[in-house]
Amino acid sequence: MRGNARKRARGWHDGGVKQEHQSTHDGAGVTHNTAASRYELTLDGKVVGHADYTLEGDAVRFTHTEVDPGHEGRGLASQLAQFALDDVRTRGLKALPQCRFIAQYIARHEKEYGGLVVR
């Protein structure tokens, strides 16, 4: 791992509780919860979805993505994936899409996110 990547990766998961909140068009919010190693999707202040990950050097391994059954079919998981992958890119990291949903999202958006995947 290159020196700058190592510094970015270490600083990226600094034990903070929450950072980088983004509101979506339908009132949902997406937050990076570094303490829990996951991105969280909220509606009305309640977590209704999450994308779990582990940090492995300069790569983020997405292990599981889930949206509560009562909120499925509204594109919320896609909003969650987009936020998470944009965050990975902004931080200069790579993605390891072990989670089937994240892998499929990247495949559907190859132009935007294909370059993030560790090959």
As given in the structure block, the two tokens for residue 29 are 């919010």
CATH of the domain at 36: 3.40.630.30
Report the percent of the chain where pLDDT is more than 90.
Answer: 71
Confidence of residue 11 (pLDDT cuts 50, 70, 90): very low
Distance CA 42, CA 37 (A): 16
Tens digit of each residue's pLDDT (9 = 90 or more) over 37-77: 999 999 988 999 999 999 999 999 999 999 999 999 999 99
- 7 phi and psi angles, rounded to 5 deg: -65, -45
pLDDT exceeds 70 at position 10: no
Structural domain of residue 58, as residue ranges? Answer: 3-116
Number of domains in the chain: 1
